[in-house]
Amino acid sequence: MLNLIYNEVFKIFARKKVYVFMILTVGFHLLPLIISTVMQQPMTYNGQSYPVISLESFLSGLLPMLIILLAGDLTASEYEHGTLKLFLVSPVTRTRLLGAKALALIITVIVLLIVNLLAAYGLGILFLGWGDGFEFSKTVLSSSEGIFYTLTSNAVAVIPQMCFAAVILFLSLAVVNGNAFIGVSLGFLVTMQVAANFAAVKPFLISSYFGIYKWFLIQPRWETVISGIAVMLVYGVCFLTAANYILNRKDILT
């Protein structure tokens, strides 16, 4: 199993798009900071608060899009080009192969969150300075508490992205054509973001929990956290199970 995971991770980081995305991540922070500096716009936060303040935008935009692109390479494109069957001529079950792909996506998400964290800290401190304390959501913390909060926020942020990745893996197997999969997945992401404006459906959307770290680290909203975890578990378990079902029924070897 470890060899399978290593192989899937290697395939991901052998692609240029991962490194292009890392550059885009730096630009995601650099461009608005430069504009704010040139325009001399007053900042209400400092360098140690900036990584958390910018985190939700990263989680709801750039990172989900990369998950879609990577899942397309790992499954839809491999099936379309016939390379997926190369792994199945060896004594590897389809369930284990899917598990390796899912874990490779999770590892990549963690790496990219680390890259985003380092870029946000570095550029935030460069343009905004370190500051006297950590301020977020009307709460002031010491620098050490702020660092702990920031690291914990990034760790918690992995959970909803994992569940979103399960949905995308399902779509990548359900939609045979690679380009069609990208279109369907991006449409799904945009539809969720639009639907989140309606209070009746918002609690049932996985995208509503991309920022769940804000709900229990400073001023806990335990009812919302518990319901959010339940929704994420439903997404993760159901869609990963459905993806496994589709993969095991696909005619791949012919």
Q: Residue 136 domain-assigned?
A: yes
Cα–Cα distance between 169 and 75 in angstroms, integer? 7
Backbone dihedral region for residue 177 (phi beyond 0: left; psi -120 to 50: alpha; all else: beta):
beta
Q: Count the neighbouring beta carbons within 10 Å of the beta carbon of residue 224.
A: 15
Cα–Cα distance between 19 and 101 in angstroms, integer? 19
pLDDT single digits (tens) 67-108? 998 887 777 566 555 555 555 556 678 888 888 889 999 999
Q: Residue 88 domain-assigned?
A: yes
Domain that holds residue 186: 2-249
Q: Residue 254 domain-assigned?
A: no
> Using alpha carbons only, what angle is made at residue 8 by residues 245 and 242, rounded to the nearest 5 degrees?
15
Residue 139, strand partner residues: 136
Which string of b and e fits 147-167 if b means at least 16 CB within 10 Å?
eebbeebbebbbbbbbbbbbb
pTM: 0.89
pLDDT single digits (tens) 121-174? 999 999 989 988 888 877 788 899 899 999 999 999 999 999 999 999 999 888
Total domains in the fold of the chain: 1
